[in-house]
Amino acid sequence: MRWCRIPITQRHLHKMARERRSLRTTTSMPPSFRADQIGSLLRPGSLLAARRSQDVYRDSALSPDIAEATKAAIAGAVQKQLELSIRPITSGEYERTIFYSGFFEKLEGMTTTRGLRLPDAYRKGLPTAYALLKIGRTEVEGNVATGPIRHTAPACMEAWEMLKSVTPPEHWGECKMSLPSIGFEHIQLAHGTAWAPGVYDSDRAYFADLATAYRAELRALYDAGLRHVQIDDPNLCWFFVDAFVDGCRADGVDPEELFDTYVWAHNEMLRDRPTGMHIGIHLCRGNTSAFHEFTWGSYESIAEKLLTKLDYEKFYLEYEDPKRQGSFAPLRFLPPGKSVVLGIVSTKTGALEDIDMLVARVREAAEAIAKGQGRSAEEVLEDTLAVSPQCGFASINFLAGDGVTEEKMWAKLVLLRDLARRLWKDAI
């Protein structure tokens, strides 16, 4: 993104280090899981067969036979994760058709609109539109606010209760669920179409109601025993893609102001979050080859705001290809007390990474963070870093990376487990 930036000098780095040391607290804790995962798993053949008649992009009430197949598949995935010591425990998102479904469409005031034509239905220059066209999608759906947004019942409670029902109670505290980003519909849909005329008078009014709904959802899930939540926001990566930035400007939108609006919305969502609920944000560039040509770029231009202004305790960042995402240098902006889960194992290919190379990359990231915080790399390694795949393995229920099979998927998660055990004494 072509924002104006002040060159970083050595004096500037020392100043930032002093400021960040002053922010350090004695309550800084290591990440909850040293070998984390993003959440979605390849669907077993039995589940795909059961859901074959359903629209892949739409969640609807599950028929009894599909609900039974879904629960059985989740039970199998949970058992596998327990056997292999893979944490956190997830449902594989088997209850969903796509990673962002199951929340917006269950809010009062939101109406699902189908048959939206690509690329016109999406913002100018939005990489998602061209990636979907590349795999043959010409129409999409979107959730538009046709009335004031209200949270009337927990949207994800059924999914959480299904996961709990097949997980031993002593492991409920190790479970994680994901929710779509608060900005997901707004950033995707064409400028000015996220709500119907007359419903809201500004972006902030729209996001204020949406944030209230998220806070209610998080509280309900917390009260039901959920302790780990991941917010999926791949779209923030578009802010360093020239086509998207240029599209914003063509619409008369200042991209920096838009980014600031999303930061504010995320923080409104996190306000008054339950004590003891761990919430992180995941940024990635997709898990299939369809997205490869649209998502090159370093986090550099958004890193300072991303890492210092967002009130998340944990950042899941895609870093599996240095040629694609650049160096770890943007991590110098990470304040003490926050953590980074390095997505250094690819879900885009079935090839298994070399563990020694992964160890070296984690240590390289620790050096980059240590330089910004004025601490040693060993300190940063101990209280700041974890590892994961760069994305989920099947963000859409039928679509996976090139050459990734169930066997290779589990092998990659075991590789991350073994990597964590080599780097950290507290890894399971």
pLDDT digits (tens, 9 = 90+) for 116-142: 999 999 999 998 898 888 888 899 999
- Of 21-30, 34-43, 257-266, 412-421, the range with the lowest mean pLDDT is 21-30
Are 347 and 404 in contact, with CB atoms under 8 Å apart?
yes
ω before 168 within 30° of 0 (cis)? no
Per-domain boundaries in the chain: 10-423
Reported as half-sphere exposure (CB side, CA atoms, 13 A), residue 59 has a value of 23
The span from the CA of 325 to the CA of 323, in Å, is 6
Say whether domain 10-423 belongs to CATH 3.30.360.10. no
Averaged pLDDT score across all residues of the chain: 90
The span from the CA of 367 to the CA of 370, in Å, is 5
SS3 of residue 285 by DSSP: coil
Element (H, E) at 278: strand 278-283
Are 247 and 123 in contact, with CB atoms under 8 Å apart?
yes
The span from the CA of 339 to the CA of 31, in Å, is 6
pLDDT (tens digit per residue) in 364-397? 999 999 999 999 999 999 999 999 999 999 977 5
Q: Give Cα separations from 238 to 38, 63, 67, 72, 262 (angstroms).
A: 20, 37, 36, 37, 13
- pLDDT of the residue at 61: 67
